Amino acid sequence: MNRRYLKDRLRLYLAVAPYLFCRFLLPGIHARNRGKTRVLVFHHLDEPDLFERAVRAISRRYHLISFEQYLRGQKASDRINIILAFDDGYHSWFTHGLPVFQKYNVHPLFFINSDFIGLAEEEAKRYCREAIGTWPEAGLAWKELKALAAQGEVGGHGRGHRDLSAIVDESAIMELMASDRVAIESATGAPARCFAYPFGRYSAIASASAEKAGYAYAFTSDSGFLEDSASPFLLKRTNLGMRPPPVALAVIEGWGDRISAAMRLLKRYL
């Protein structure tokens, strides 16, 4: 495990203690976020029981909505609204995710690398290691992606899962983005209006290219509520992954963001 992964894991678990304290003793702090919307990001769904427990806990306490409902203003005002999002295109979305989406009436955002979809298993595992930088898992088949598209909305994640913040050629960025959009629309028959920056990294060139490539919205991995995003091409998302329900709830309420701010402050003055 690399240092960044350990740091992110520590941040999420540190969020649980203040969340529990405020939930029972200072509930007014959590009430301030009612009516806001948070996008939670997952990747591999390799622990199906843990994933379902998290979705069950979220569905009981918060309001699960689609991105389309968010755009239409169909949000709860008395609870935090949650949109689930998934990056890359793993086979486990279909085997472990789809039954949960259907059971709990979840309509996620699926961000895929089009050159990852449909690969043979060994090629897909190599793609995971070399392009995404994660542990190996088979990718989705195109017919599986189409089944998921019927449950949610599919967006682009860039061919090759390239770090777009490191590319200065606008035409090269646009090609990586637009080729995904064309492949998705051809496979699903639906518009691909959303993009998620690979690794969550972006630049001014990348955000401008997303619009030129035909997208209407682009998502970062800058954690926070959607309503606090700077623009439609710098939308906030919170990386959660396979975490126990108490961690998920603490992150939703904003304690992960507060811990991150405190860690940045300590780093600055220590």
pLDDT at 134: 95
Give the chain's count of helices (H) and strands (E): 13, 8
- Residue 259 within any structural domain of the chain: no
In a domain, 108, yes or no: yes
Phi, psi angle pair for 209, to nearest 5°: -70, -30
Cα angle for residues 93, 55, 260 (degrees, 5° grid): 95
C-alpha distance from residue 231 to each of 22, 207, 218, 220 (Å)? 31, 10, 9, 11
CA atoms within 13 Å, Cβ hemisphere of 243: 26
Q: How far apart are CA 24 and CA 223, in angstroms?
A: 25
The CA dihedral of 236, 186, 241, 64, to the nearest 10 degrees, is 70
Confidence (pLDDT) at 222: 96
Domain that includes residue 79, residue range: 34-252
- Each residue's pLDDT tens digit, 50-76: 999 999 999 999 999 999 999 999 999
The reported pLDDT for the residue numbered 18 is 83
The pair of structure tokens assigned to 15 is 């969020």
Q: Model's pTM, two decimal places?
A: 0.94
DSSP 16-27: HHHHHHHHHH-H
Residue 225: CATH number of its domain: 3.20.20.370
Two tokens at 214?
Answer: 């035909």
For residue 184, being part of any structural domain is answered with yes
User: How far, in Å, CA of 179 to CA of 54, rounded?
Assistant: 34
**Residue 56 falls within a domain, yes or no?**
yes
Q: Is residue 81 part of a domain?
A: yes
Is the residue at 19 inside a domain?
no
pLDDT of residue 258: 86
Residue 16 lies in a domain: no
Rounded distance, CA 201 to CA 220, Å? 7
- How far apart are the two ends of the chain, measured CA to CA in Å? 25
Considering its fold, how many domains does the chain have in total? Answer: 1
Distance of CA 92 to the CA centre of its chain: 15
Q: Which helix (H) or strand (E) holds 118?
A: none
Q: Is 206:165 a contact under the CB 8 Å cutoff?
A: yes
pLDDT at 270: 60
Check residue 22 and give its pLDDT.
84
- How many residues comprise the chain? 270
- Chain-centre distance of CA 60, in angstroms? 21
* Residue 17: partners with Cβ closer than 8 Å, 6 or more residues away: none
Residues of the chain with pLDDT under 70: 1-8, 270
Radius of gyration over alpha carbons of the chain, in Å? 18
Domain-located, residue 9: no
